[in-house]
Structure 1
Amino acid sequence: MNDTTSTPPTGLADRSTTPVDGPQPDIVQPIIAETPNGQANIRRADIALPGRFRRFVAHPFVLMLIGTAIVVAAWIGTSIAAHFSGLTRGPILLIGAAIVSIVTILAYRGFVRFVERGGDGTLPFASAAASGAGYGTLAGLAIFASAALAVTAFGGLTVAGVSWRIGDLSQMAGIAILAGVTEEILFRGVLFRFIERMGGSIVALVITSGLFGFAHIMNPDATLLAAIAITVEAGLLLAAIYMLTRNLWVAIGLHAGWNFTQGYIFSLPVSGGGAPDGLLLTQRSGPEWLTGGPFGLEASLVTLCVTTAFGLAILWLAVRRGRLVPMRGARAAQDALMAQTKL
């Protein structure tokens, strides 16, 4: 029987007493082997690789790609399942939209916690969720109503009466919630945050606004001018409200409130498609630059001017309150800003 108290072979030093140059990651056990001259050898590549991999994954561009893939997969995958389950037609569309929205939120939260290893990703589960979404919804209602009133003042929109039927209430609520949650998580929660982390707020504003407008070019009745209008008015407005509040719930509420007001209250097409059966019986008349044409009031020059004015005002407030991240030192500045505005 071998003596378990015998000393180790000559030349193989005790790990606990052998100094090792450089930091060692706590998740990796160094590989120690005896060299021909009897000295302990640690293969540095076996130590450095995990650290390099972590740094690679932690890069904002890589995190942006991973986050986009996770959010889109959750969004599209659940939408397909809801479609084949019959949850995308009629009044029960609201149920399907709620399921898709919840799954997308959980997927985003999971990405932030387990991949990004950050905080709540500006989407907290607390009283801030209800208050943020509520304030955002009211803001969306007020801003679109202001644009609609301006178009009415120019003679492009008239209200013929009021329909007290429920109509497309549940469908429009479902569509508004779904668009608000999924699009804001993707465009502001993932794309804007990580582009801002790499190049600052203005770069993120320009890029995500362009992407947001381009994403609507495939909508029914969409034109290049309609996509440009979405880029300028909605891209600016939604990014500005996010920068000011640093709370995705506010942007989600504003987006949903805008869509619901446009579709259900004013019975107008929401980014293209047919006009829903809403509360107000409205009629549009006049040139397309005023009415927006088949795409809806979002493509109206008047709506563009009114909404852009609101967006610039909110952006001005964000600048005054120091909520923009500069291009130089963007990572550190964003971290400091998020810590300052953490809810």
Structure 2
Amino acid sequence: MDDVLAPKPGMLRRLIAFPLTLMIIEFFAVAIGASLLTALFRRFFVKDTPGYFLGGLSVAVLAIVIYLAARRWIERIANDELPLPLLPRELPLGLLIGAGLFTLMTGVVALMGGIVVERVNGMGALWGMLAMAVTSGTIEEIMFRGVLLRHLEALLGTWAALAITSALFGLAHLTNPGASLFAAFAIAMEAGILLGAAYLWKRRLWIPIGIHAAWNFTQGWVFSVPVSGGKAPEGWLITSRNGPEWLTGGAFGLEASVIAMLVATVAGLLLLLRVAKQGGIRPPMWVKTAPEPITYH
């Protein structure tokens, strides 16, 4: 009876609550807030110091706060995507998956002669890599999975949303140093599908954040491989890559390796199969689903 008597929201409220509007507002709110704080902490903290990592961690926390504030005050929904009680369980699981997949892929490339460990470097650029991992893992997962995937799914359904966000994630890396069309395609396949499926699995962000952060940290610090292009960092193990680009990934790094694409994409598809089996695939907004039958007790 309360639902029948409740007043309908006004035109402005309906416009704001439309998925496309929410997607634009939240995407730019997180992007602008994180960018401003990143520029600020880089002015005051020296790279590769504990303070630099704390600055990166503060940026990640700010992105979470902005996102949760938007969900609470604009969408008017509770925090069901980043609940603190589940952080100790789900974030380590994501970290384990991300580090494990990249290590597995690197081991395959090593067996094929594509990468060799030259020496142990010790701590290397630990703090800088930690800062990069926590910021990229948190901000990009909030923007691409929490915002884009979630709202596009509400509009177009799960399959279309996953395809679009995977493509956008690949295109976003196309401007990186050493990028190529194949590198962007590989990122779209291996990361877009895996991270999208990881979000859809629990409908929460801790696991994809952990996967993303650990993947980047493992390649940058553990194996000293370029993270999505650019200069190779000096991490724990100094490595050299030799062989064809399809194996080593070339200047972009191992993410552009065919081996990486196969390993991560297969993992993503297996996880996506689990999502489908548990009923996690949703139709577009224009497809009406049959109401659940009323049961009497």
Does the pair score TM above 0.5? yes
- What is the distance in 2 between the residues matched to 1:167 and 1:138? 22
Which 5+ residue runs of structure 2 have no aligned equivalent? Answer: 293-297
Higher helix share: 2
Whether the 8 Å CA contact 1:109–1:121 is kept in 2: the answer is no
Residue 148 in structure 1 maps to residue 106 in structure 2: yes
In the other structure, the counterpart of 2:271 is: 314
2:168 corresponds, among 211, 222, 228, to 211
In the other structure, the counterpart of 2:63 is: 104
- What is the distance in 1 between the residues matched to 2:96 and 2:173? 24
1:233 corresponds, among 161, 177, 190, to 190
Question: 1:94–1:259: structure 2 CA closer, same or farther, 3 Å change rule?
Answer: same
In the other structure, the counterpart of 2:32 is: 73
Whether the 8 Å CA contact 2:154–2:285 is kept in 1: the answer is no
Whether the 8 Å CA contact 2:246–2:256 is kept in 1: the answer is yes
Max Rg structure: 1
Q: Deviations over 1:107-127 (max 9, x none)?
A: 00100000011121511122x
Whether the 8 Å CA contact 2:30–2:66 is kept in 1: the answer is yes
In the other structure, the counterpart of 1:248 is: 205
1:24 Cα offset (Å): 8.7
SS at match of 1:160: strand
- What is the distance in 1 between the residues matched to 2:154 and 2:187? 24
1:221 Cα offset (Å): 1.4
TM-score normalized by structure 1?
Answer: 0.79
SS at match of 1:90: coil
In the other structure, the counterpart of 2:260 is: 303
- 141-150 vs 323-332, greater mean Cα deviation: 323-332
Letter of the structure 1 residue corresponding to residue 205 of structure 2 = L
State the identity as a percent: 41
Question: 1:24–1:190: structure 2 CA closer, same or farther, 3 Å change rule?
Answer: closer
- What is the distance in 2 between the residues matched to 1:65 and 1:211? 15
1:139-288 aligned within 5 A = 139-163=97-121, 165-288=122-245
Cα RMSD after superposing both structures = 2.1
2:249 corresponds, among 289, 292, 307, to 292
- What is the distance in 1 between the residues matched to 2:280 and 2:39? 38
Whether the 8 Å CA contact 1:265–1:279 is kept in 2: the answer is yes
1:88 Cα offset (Å): 6.0
Whether the 8 Å CA contact 1:74–1:104 is kept in 2: the answer is yes
What count of residue pairs does the alignment treat as equivalent? 287
- What is the distance in 1 between the residues matched to 2:81 and 2:106? 31
- What is the distance in 2 between the residues matched to 1:312 and 1:153? 25
- What is the distance in 2 between the residues matched to 1:133 and 1:300? 26
In the other structure, the counterpart of 1:19 is: none
TM-score normalized by structure 2?
Answer: 0.91
In the other structure, the counterpart of 1:87 is: 45
Question: 1:183–1:331: structure 2 CA closer, same or farther, 3 Å change rule?
Answer: farther
- What is the distance in 2 between the residues matched to 1:124 and 1:328? 27
In the other structure, the counterpart of 2:295 is: none
Whether the 8 Å CA contact 1:198–1:330 is kept in 2: the answer is no
Whether the 8 Å CA contact 1:197–1:330 is kept in 2: the answer is no
Question: 1:24–1:117: structure 2 CA closer, same or farther, 3 Å change rule?
Answer: closer
- What is the distance in 2 between the residues matched to 1:98 and 1:59? 32
Whether the 8 Å CA contact 2:133–2:214 is kept in 1: the answer is yes
In the other structure, the counterpart of 1:115 is: 74
In the other structure, the counterpart of 1:45 is: none
